[in-house]
Amino acid sequence: MTPVLVLNGPNLGRLGRRQPEIYGRTTHAELAHQCVAWGRDLGIDVEVRQTNHEGEMLDWLNAAADDGNPVVLNAAAWTHYSYAILDACAQLTAPLVEVHISDPHQRPEEFRHTSVVTPYAAQVVAGHGTDGYRIALEALARR
Ligand code: DQA
Protein backbone atom coordinates (compact mmCIF):
# COMPACT_ATOMS: atom_id res chain seq x y z
CA MET A 1 0.00 0.00 0.00
CA THR A 2 1.26 3.53 -0.80
CA PRO A 3 2.06 5.14 2.53
CA VAL A 4 0.54 8.46 3.56
CA LEU A 5 3.35 10.97 3.97
CA VAL A 6 3.10 13.42 6.85
CA LEU A 7 5.49 16.21 5.86
CA ASN A 8 6.37 18.94 8.33
CA GLY A 9 8.25 22.09 7.40
CA PRO A 10 10.57 24.54 9.13
CA ASN A 11 10.80 24.92 12.90
CA LEU A 12 8.35 22.07 13.54
CA GLY A 13 11.28 19.91 14.67
CA ARG A 14 11.26 22.01 17.84
CA LEU A 15 7.63 21.21 18.68
CA GLY A 16 7.16 20.92 22.43
CA ARG A 17 9.83 23.54 23.05
CA ARG A 18 8.81 26.09 20.41
CA GLN A 19 6.27 28.64 21.71
CA PRO A 20 4.31 25.97 23.64
CA GLU A 21 1.55 28.50 24.36
CA ILE A 22 0.81 28.40 20.60
CA TYR A 23 1.97 24.96 19.47
CA GLY A 24 1.55 22.88 22.64
CA ARG A 25 3.91 20.58 24.48
CA THR A 26 3.90 17.51 22.22
CA THR A 27 7.36 17.01 20.71
CA HIS A 28 7.88 16.17 17.04
CA ALA A 29 9.04 12.67 18.01
CA GLU A 30 5.86 12.15 20.05
CA LEU A 31 3.73 13.50 17.21
CA ALA A 32 5.45 11.16 14.74
CA HIS A 33 4.74 8.23 17.05
CA GLN A 34 1.09 9.23 17.40
CA CYS A 35 0.65 9.63 13.63
CA VAL A 36 1.97 6.10 13.02
CA ALA A 37 -0.32 4.72 15.76
CA TRP A 38 -3.35 6.63 14.42
CA GLY A 39 -2.55 5.27 10.96
CA ARG A 40 -2.36 1.73 12.34
CA ASP A 41 -5.84 2.16 13.89
CA LEU A 42 -7.13 3.44 10.54
CA GLY A 43 -5.44 0.68 8.55
CA ILE A 44 -3.05 3.01 6.71
CA ASP A 45 0.75 3.15 6.57
CA VAL A 46 2.06 6.50 7.74
CA GLU A 47 5.55 7.94 7.33
CA VAL A 48 6.41 11.18 9.14
CA ARG A 49 9.22 13.53 8.12
CA GLN A 50 10.35 17.01 9.11
CA THR A 51 12.80 19.34 7.39
CA ASN A 52 14.07 22.89 7.70
CA HIS A 53 15.34 22.76 4.10
CA GLU A 54 12.94 23.81 1.37
CA GLY A 55 14.76 21.83 -1.34
CA GLU A 56 14.39 18.65 0.68
CA MET A 57 10.66 19.28 1.09
CA LEU A 58 10.39 19.87 -2.68
CA ASP A 59 12.18 16.58 -3.37
CA TRP A 60 9.74 14.77 -1.06
CA LEU A 61 6.70 16.39 -2.70
CA ASN A 62 8.04 15.65 -6.20
CA ALA A 63 8.59 11.99 -5.24
CA ALA A 64 5.08 11.87 -3.73
CA ALA A 65 3.71 13.14 -7.07
CA ASP A 66 5.58 10.37 -8.93
CA ASP A 67 4.62 7.65 -6.46
CA GLY A 68 1.02 8.74 -5.84
CA ASN A 69 1.34 9.13 -2.08
CA PRO A 70 -1.45 10.96 -0.26
CA VAL A 71 0.14 13.81 1.72
CA VAL A 72 -0.60 15.53 5.01
CA LEU A 73 1.37 18.77 4.75
CA ASN A 74 2.22 21.34 7.36
CA ALA A 75 4.47 23.61 5.32
CA ALA A 76 4.76 25.94 8.34
CA ALA A 77 6.06 29.39 7.31
CA TRP A 78 6.56 28.27 3.67
CA THR A 79 2.76 28.02 3.51
CA HIS A 80 2.57 31.77 3.36
CA TYR A 81 5.02 32.66 0.61
CA SER A 82 6.71 29.76 -1.19
CA TYR A 83 5.70 29.54 -4.83
CA ALA A 84 8.02 26.55 -5.15
CA ILE A 85 5.88 24.73 -2.56
CA LEU A 86 2.77 25.89 -4.47
CA ASP A 87 4.14 24.43 -7.73
CA ALA A 88 5.02 21.16 -5.97
CA CYS A 89 1.54 20.86 -4.42
CA ALA A 90 -0.02 21.51 -7.83
CA GLN A 91 1.69 18.38 -9.19
CA LEU A 92 0.45 15.97 -6.51
CA THR A 93 -1.59 13.12 -7.91
CA ALA A 94 -3.20 11.83 -4.69
CA PRO A 95 -5.17 13.86 -2.12
CA LEU A 96 -3.39 16.49 -0.03
CA VAL A 97 -4.61 17.61 3.39
CA GLU A 98 -3.17 20.87 4.73
CA VAL A 99 -2.61 20.95 8.49
CA HIS A 100 -1.75 23.73 10.90
CA ILE A 101 -1.45 23.26 14.64
CA SER A 102 -2.57 26.83 15.28
CA ASP A 103 -5.21 28.60 13.18
CA PRO A 104 -3.18 31.00 11.04
CA HIS A 105 -6.31 32.95 10.05
CA GLN A 106 -6.99 33.80 13.70
CA ARG A 107 -3.45 35.02 14.34
CA PRO A 108 -2.60 38.72 14.26
CA GLU A 109 0.19 38.64 11.66
CA GLU A 110 -1.29 39.48 8.27
CA PHE A 111 1.23 37.29 6.42
CA ARG A 112 -0.27 34.15 8.03
CA HIS A 113 -3.64 34.80 6.40
CA THR A 114 -2.45 33.63 2.98
CA SER A 115 -1.76 30.00 2.03
CA VAL A 116 -0.21 28.82 -1.23
CA VAL A 117 -1.19 25.24 -0.26
CA THR A 118 -4.96 25.70 0.21
CA PRO A 119 -5.86 25.83 -3.52
CA TYR A 120 -4.51 22.28 -3.88
CA ALA A 121 -5.82 20.86 -0.60
CA ALA A 122 -8.80 18.52 -0.45
CA GLN A 123 -9.21 19.73 3.13
CA VAL A 124 -7.63 22.20 5.56
CA VAL A 125 -7.38 21.32 9.24
CA ALA A 126 -6.27 24.23 11.43
CA GLY A 127 -6.46 25.19 15.07
CA HIS A 128 -6.88 21.69 16.53
CA GLY A 129 -3.38 21.42 17.97
CA THR A 130 -1.48 18.25 17.09
CA ASP A 131 -4.82 16.42 17.08
CA GLY A 132 -5.28 18.04 13.66
CA TYR A 133 -2.97 15.39 12.22
CA ARG A 134 -5.37 12.65 13.41
CA ILE A 135 -8.28 14.52 11.81
CA ALA A 136 -6.27 14.77 8.55
CA LEU A 137 -5.39 11.05 8.58
CA GLU A 138 -9.04 10.16 9.24
CA ALA A 139 -10.07 12.31 6.27
CA LEU A 140 -7.56 10.52 4.01
CA ALA A 141 -8.60 7.09 5.31
CA ARG A 142 -12.21 7.84 4.34
CA ARG A 143 -11.24 8.55 0.70
C1 DQA B 1 1.96 26.66 11.47
C2 DQA B 1 1.46 28.09 11.31
C3 DQA B 1 2.43 28.93 10.50
O4 DQA B 1 1.95 30.25 10.37
C5 DQA B 1 3.78 28.98 11.18
O6 DQA B 1 4.71 29.66 10.38
C7 DQA B 1 4.29 27.63 11.57
C8 DQA B 1 3.35 26.63 12.06
C9 DQA B 1 1.06 25.83 12.40
O10 DQA B 1 1.20 24.61 12.40
O11 DQA B 1 0.24 26.39 13.14
O12 DQA B 1 5.50 27.40 11.58
O13 DQA B 1 1.97 26.04 10.20
User: At 35, is the secondary structure helix, strand, or coil?
Assistant: helix
Question: What residue segments make up the domains of the chain, in order of their start?
Answer: 4-142
Could you tell which of 80, 102, 110 is best to mutate to test the pocket of ligand 1, judged by most ligand atoms within 8 Å of the CB?
Answer: 102
* 18-56 tens-digit pLDDT: 999 999 999 999 999 999 999 999 999 999 999 999 999
> In one letter, which amino acid is 129?
G
CATH number of 4-142: 3.40.50.9100
Kindly report the pTM of this predicted structure: 0.98
> In one letter, which amino acid is 134?
R
Q: Write down the catalytic residue from 28, 80, 100, 133.
A: 100
Mean pLDDT of the region 76-99: 98
| Ligand 1 atom 8, closest CA | 76
Strand pairing category for 71-74 and 96-100: parallel
Residue 112 clears pLDDT 80, i.e. is over it: yes
| Ligand 1 atom 1, closest CA | 76
The reply to whether 100 belongs to the active site is: yes
